[in-house]
Amino acid sequence: GEVDRVLDGLAQVVDEKPSAGEGLGLLVELADGRRVESVLLPKDGLCVSTQVGCAVGCTFCSTGTLGLVRQLTALEILVQVVLARRRRAVRKVVFMGMGEPAHNLRSVLEAIRLLGEYGDIGHKDLVFSTVGEEGLFERLAQGSVRPALALSLHTTDAEKRAALLPKAPRVEPRELLEAAAAYSDAVGHPLQLQWTLLAGINDGDEECDALIDLVSGRRIVVNYIPFNPGADLPHQRVDPDRAHALTRRLHAAGVIAKLRDSAGQDVGVGCGQLRAASE
């Protein structure tokens, strides 16, 4: 009816990229012709974009090479969920697509509130992924729907993090992690820690042991994400045996760790590959 007409005017799926797994990339064109990508994930998950492009410029992410083109409205974020639900069930929404959610906080928080209150999605299944921003965790704690948090850490070394995430705030990784963990403990969701494995950069034993030192004894799940190659990105994918060895090293230290195989990487919509290219 009327709602459908409004939504169809906001955005349409102009291309679908079925992946070998259960992943399905959706290229979504907005009313102004700009495009973003959403990715349907296995187990009823959906990864949505919050911006066209991204200002953080992480050296291992294709989205960052675009710079920030514009913010999405709350409705443009929600419509990605609606379009995905026309294809299959969505019971979890992760704000990990194109963009840094903290840089579009008002729209993202409004989308989270609507999904949590009316969208039939559990609050712990709304996952806000961020490099961290000044005052962010306080803001998240004030909402009626308080999402789970995924902190993009990638290294425990402050200088290395500044090089890998050029526009992220310059906060000591330990300090950032403690603030994120305090928020997560307060709302009762485990903290997810995102760590893109870059061969020869953050996949050494020293980094692994420093990470163990940081997370030990906390309710934290470490997500190791093997780097997904993209055009013009200066990194190498980590050797699979090495990735498994690191995961085992964390397990042996009592840390919950998962080696994530990003859905859709075979069709260019894995973590860090989103560019909304229409080729």
Cβ 62 vs Cβ 110: under 8 Å = no
Cβ 250 vs Cβ 223: under 8 Å = no
Q: First vs last Cα of the chain: how many Å apart?
A: 33
Please indicate whether residue 47 is annotated as part of the active site. Answer: no
- For Cα atoms 119, 132, 102, give the angle at the middle one, nearest 5 degrees: 45
Cβ 20 vs Cβ 3: under 8 Å = no
Alpha helical stretches, state H, 104-204: 105-118, 136-142, 158-164, 173-187
Please indicate whether residue 138 is annotated as part of the active site. Answer: no
Identified catalytic residue from 16, 22, 37, 178: 37
Cα separation of 254 and 213, whole Å? 11
Identified catalytic residue from 47, 61, 208, 271: 271
Q: Which residues are catalytic?
A: 37, 271
